[in-house]
Structure 1
């Protein structure tokens, strides 16, 4: 966990400094949770969004006290791409408050994920006492040429998928931070991004107040993977994102699960390999015998592309790829032809893709995906198992 020194203010040209006095929230000048909520809502740039998850930036204040079935969200923000950030403000005065706050903000997220865009528009209008399409109007203030239909569709997808950034902001977030961070990381599978932000206050006597936000914990962003799709002599990068930030197709979870169900029942050559598990939406995951890495089979209806790639949590995947790339030529010889790509970082990875138009039917596409998964398992699983011992 990061630590910080004192803040100094230079008083005059002679080099004299004044040391700021730490001004805890909740003790003086009415600086309570409501004060912190309004401070962040009025000054969204205080929240270090780029350090937590830049895909939710920039933060545009939507409203405070957004009413949900689980209770009121302290502050809600939206981005021009329709992504919601929910902020809960807490003073860290007792262990019970620390334990409850994560469950509380998760309940808010689950409640909001049940909303349609019309529900969001209605609740924001109620909170702000404004009429009309308030979320869109807020976003259009930053981007005057923003298309309303596209914004509404993007926001509706984010709501449907529960793709939210949840921030817990407070003062003196120190004791118990390890346990809170672990709880946050375990809940990352919900498709949510989390961050803990300490808002430190320093008083310079009569000269004013300094506000210093600090990110003290966050979920680790899963590295994005790109495959190079070649068509008609041209090429383009197609992004494949596992779990965090994936583009959602216009198909229900039920329909999507039914499409992938035959693949979740395939038998691998390796008798120890577990079957693939469905991950809403548009992909399945195959566990591997090394922590933090896995195989993903995906399909993107919008791009007309499907494929298989090796990925994982950012730090683990990079470490494992460094070791696997020492045997790169041998591994590629064991993988299906064409199983070669470079990730967004330029680092060589292992992936293969195909166009939907290459297949005569969905069954043929699924059979191809199953074959690729089997070969990837055969090539990578023994090596990863050896790494884990």
Structure 2
């Protein structure tokens, strides 16, 4: 039998500790090895119990979750820590601060839930998959015993192969980025490495709930040379701007008259997600064809794989984050294993790869030219609506 995942649950509420313990105990792959009512006691128990994962509340007496994650990261950079957050502006702000301090992921506490069972179901659906994704070597079931066979040489793991384009590579007219677990900090690092003169629009889907995405976009805007906003329905898509899909809404780019604009809708979740990366990328392929660069960063699941297949089939370019630098190599791993990535790169190399693949569209403007300038340098003048030089294919209809 495979080893169970050892979890330490930290929350000042006796009721929440009991609820989380009962939920986790219902899964045979997980063992709750201890609980703690605050961060100070949690630090002692981490040293004593050596858990594989810690669930950590944010608001606690003595030592809160923000202090605790900073102390944990002083001695252990790799221990998976999942924050428990309220779905409020205050909770979202604290959660984003925790993620920037080294937390691995977060789940939102049930709000306005009618029964204990519904609360347990909510925590179970969010928490257990994230625990297993963060420690996949323990989450995998033990192999079934097999009949003795003649010994054979050990086979190496299936290598990740990159795609060799069959024709001339087209210069991208747009950049799309998808991410999930570990994505907030990964995306921040990528955008910080892109120049203010970026001559293409950037569309981003990061799996996040409402409220969180707005505050996250504001944080990115302060840290990036580019203009970053939470996308709004009907907003023109312009070069040098980054559009973050709002929580609980799919984001597409569609043509309306001479302009390309953002379209938001609440169609069915895809890959259990809304917003979904695949929805965004499909619409971008319809709008830009093969003149598109897709980047898939760290995240659990496989959202983005089908969209990237469409990008590759149209002649576009695909870059995936590598396993070593991903918090969870689910989404980029799905793309890499499919053989549709042009490059599989460590996080620190992705911004440079984007700049290189965008070519002239990412280079600083020369004197006397008419650059597609960053909206930061022309804040008083609204940027022109983005209209590709060549007509784009009609976008597919979204589901409302």
Band of TM-score, shorter chain = 0.3 to 0.5
Q: Which has the higher contact order (CA 8 A, sep 6+)?
A: 2
The structure having more radius of gyration, on CA atoms, is: 1
TM-score, structure 1 as length reference: 0.35
Return the structure number with greater helix share: 1
